[in-house]
């Protein structure tokens, strides 16, 4: 079989019949969906990611994942070599302070690397909103990124969109959680701001069409669904389709911080992302330039249809991708450069069961989400609430799938760092901590028996980290000993969907 991808060496031309697509953001919500669409359309795809191993299990034959970091130009030069079309679907909404400068630096690096690699076109997903002094920092940054990409000299097709409605999307999960959990809802001013939501399928259609779109230079296209509505109207439409009666109480003032804490308590949106989201939706985000409807053969559906489609997928409890899948949703972790570790603290315990490894591992792979943490769930929830107040991920992310895990999946306030079926699961903590933490489970088969080993690992950062560990050690001892005991009980009982509320 002959590979029709030509190397970029200055003497050969790239294949125009089957272009190589460079895809960023493949671990996120939109990027993850686009990975599937591009593969189904028969394109060669190379995913640029900081953690290629997280994508390995999702890729079809012929698709590759390579290391690339937006803050490391050298890694981009290598990863983008030979690319024809590049999708720029990353941003730093989940990051803490200085996200604008991070986005600025990443865009300059990406644009420069694309130019050096001979990339023909960059497709970028930005945000709707009229430029003004009142524009939120998040929206301003999204539009600045598009400008910086164009300044690179590479042709850019920028789509500016408002709320994205789809199973697993940030906005839809927020609306769904609010309506499902609150019979009486507080309605701050931002609930009445006008937007023009677009369904995830229609958004993907625009992005896919940009690969072959004929244009004579860079273009900005405003895209949206068939109608203009408010968040309040979206909530009412969702409630109507679910057959729920909900009362809304308008309130004149609710600051972004208070609103974000409120959202964090009842929805999967933790407070830092909540603040940026609310500060963005205080600005109307509607389409003023309808050029996209003439330039593309796409007729987006309205809000009602988009919600109905999202609900059909949501009812299956498994969305193809979710907003919380993105690494940026965790705040990208803390920068530990310059912090000395070396006092690693370990709490390890084990138990042997008269079971094979598959049954012994079964309750481990279901941990978190609706299953819970096999004991002391109230303490876990209290810890999550404290994390929410501190600007962390909080308690509401849940799981992508109640039975299956893959590298990169969020599990409440943890993320799957490694998994080997029926043998090993390692979770990395994304809650706010004075150090780094992991929770690891291993199952070792010994004839007809299996040993389950549970290990909590903590790398304290300085004296505050050491104090944190030893002050809370009695609580951790209680939690971890009960957790292992109940995991053993769940494996021996083998009850499907066993929930540890003890």
For residues 350 and 454, is the Cβ–Cβ distance under 8 A? yes
Taking each helix axis as running N to C, give the angle between helix 357-365 and helix 473-493, from 0 to 180 degrees, rounded to the nearest 10.
Answer: 130
Kindly state the average pLDDT of the residues 226-247.
Answer: 91
Q: What are the residue boundaries of the structural domains of the chain, listed by start?
A: 20-328, 333-493
DSSP class of residue 82 equals T
Confidence of residue 219 (pLDDT cuts 50, 70, 90): very high
User: Three-class SS of residue 190?
Assistant: helix
Instruction: Give per-residue pLDDT as tens, 72-128.
Output: 999 999 999 999 999 999 986 555 557 788 899 999 999 999 999 999 999 999 999
What is the pLDDT at residue 395?
63
For residues 251 and 259, is the Cβ–Cβ distance under 8 A? no
Of the listed ranges 65-69, 125-129, 274-278, 493-497, the one predicted with least confidence: 493-497
Superfamily for the 333-493 domain: START domain (3.30.530.20)
Q: Given a cut of 90, is residue 130 above it in pLDDT? A: no
CA distance 289 to 496: 53
The pTM of the whole model exceeds 0.85 = no
Name the strands in the sheet holding 20-24, side by side, starting at the edge strand that comes first in the sequence: 64-67, 44-49, 20-24, 85-88, 121-127, 155-161, 219-222
Confidence of residue 412 (pLDDT cuts 50, 70, 90): confident
Q: Given a cut of 70, is residue 23 above it in pLDDT? A: yes
What is the pLDDT at residue 249?
83
Q: Which residue, 21, 27, 47, 107, is CA-closest to 71?
A: 107
What is the pLDDT at residue 391?
67
Instruction: Give per-residue pLDDT as tens, 297-342.
Output: 999 999 999 999 988 876 554 556 666 666 443 334 455 444 444 4
Superfamily for the 20-328 domain: NAD(P)-binding Rossmann-like Domain (3.40.50.720)
User: Three-class SS of residue 435?
Assistant: strand
The three-point CA angle 153-159-165 to 5° equals 150
What is the pLDDT at residue 394?
66
Kindly state the average pLDDT of the residues 26-39.
Answer: 92
Sign for the CA dihedral angle at 240, 242, 246, 249 comes to negative
Neighbours of 164 (CB within 10 A): 24
CA distance 290 to 127: 15
279-289 CB burial, b ≥16 within 10 A, e <16:
bbbbbbbbbee
């Amino acid at each position: 079989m002959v590979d029709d991808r030509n190397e970029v060496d200055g003497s050969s031309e790239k294949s125009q019949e089957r272009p190589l697509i460079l895809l960023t953001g493949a671990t996120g919500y939109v990027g993850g969906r686009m990975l599937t669409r591009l593969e189904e359309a028969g394109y060669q795809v190379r995913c640029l990611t900081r953690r290629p191993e997280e994508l390995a299990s999702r890729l079809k034959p012929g698709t590759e994942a390579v290391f690339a970091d937006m803050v490391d130009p050298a890694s981009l030069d290598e990863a983008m070599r030979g690319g024809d079309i590049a999708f720029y679907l990353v941003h730093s909404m989940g990051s803490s302070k200085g996200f604008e400068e991070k986005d600025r630096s990443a865009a300059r690096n990406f644009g420069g690397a694309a130019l050096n690699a001979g990339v023909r076109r960059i497709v970028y997903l930005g945000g709707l909103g009229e430029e003004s002094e009142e524009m939120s920092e998040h929206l301003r940054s999204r539009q600045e990124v598009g400008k910086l990409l164009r300044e690179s000299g590479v042709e850019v097709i920028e789509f500016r969109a408002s709320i994205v409605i789809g199973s697993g999307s940030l906005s839809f999960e927020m609306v769904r959680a609010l309506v499902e959990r609150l019979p009486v809802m507080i309605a701050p001013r931002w609930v009445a701001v006008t937007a023009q939501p677009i369904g995830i399928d229609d958004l993907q259609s625009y992005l896919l069409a940009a690969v072959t779109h004929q244009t004579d230079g860079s273009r900005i296209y405003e895209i949206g669904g068939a109608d203009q509505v408010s968040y309040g109207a979206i909530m009412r439409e969702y409630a109507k389709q679910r057959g729920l009666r909900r009362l809304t109480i308008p309130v004149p003032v609710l600051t972004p911080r208070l609103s974000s804490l409120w959202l964090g308590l009842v929805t999967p949106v933790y407070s830092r992302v909540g603040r940026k989201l609310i500060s963005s939706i205080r600005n109307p985000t509607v389409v003023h330039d309808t050029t996209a409807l003439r330039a593309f053969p796409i007729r987006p559906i309205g809000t009602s249809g988009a919600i109905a489609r999202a609900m059909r997928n949501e009812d299956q409890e498994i969305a193809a991708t979710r907003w919380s899948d993105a690494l940026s949703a965790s705040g990208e972790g803390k920068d530990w450069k310059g912090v000395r570790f070396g006092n690693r603290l370990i709490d390890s315990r084990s138990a042997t069961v008269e079971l094979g490894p598959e049954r012994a591992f079964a309750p481990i792979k279901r941990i978190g989400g609706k299953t819970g943490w096999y004991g002391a769930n109230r303490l876990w929830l209290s810890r999550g609430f404290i994390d929410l107040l501190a600007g962390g991920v909080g308690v509401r992310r849940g799981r992508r799938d109640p039975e299956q895990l893959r590298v990169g999946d969020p599990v409440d306030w943890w993320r799957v760092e490694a998994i080997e079926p029926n043998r090993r699961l390692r979770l990395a903590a994304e809650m706010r901590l004075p150090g780094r933490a992991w929770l690891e489970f291993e199952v070792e088969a010994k004839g007809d028996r299996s040993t389950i080993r549970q290990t909590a690992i903590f790398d304290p950062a300085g004296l505050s980290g050491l104090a944190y560990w030893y002050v809370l050690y009695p609580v951790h001892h209680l939690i971890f000993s009960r957790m292992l005991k109940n995991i053993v009980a769940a494996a021996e009982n083998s009850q499907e969907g066993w929930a540890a509320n003890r």
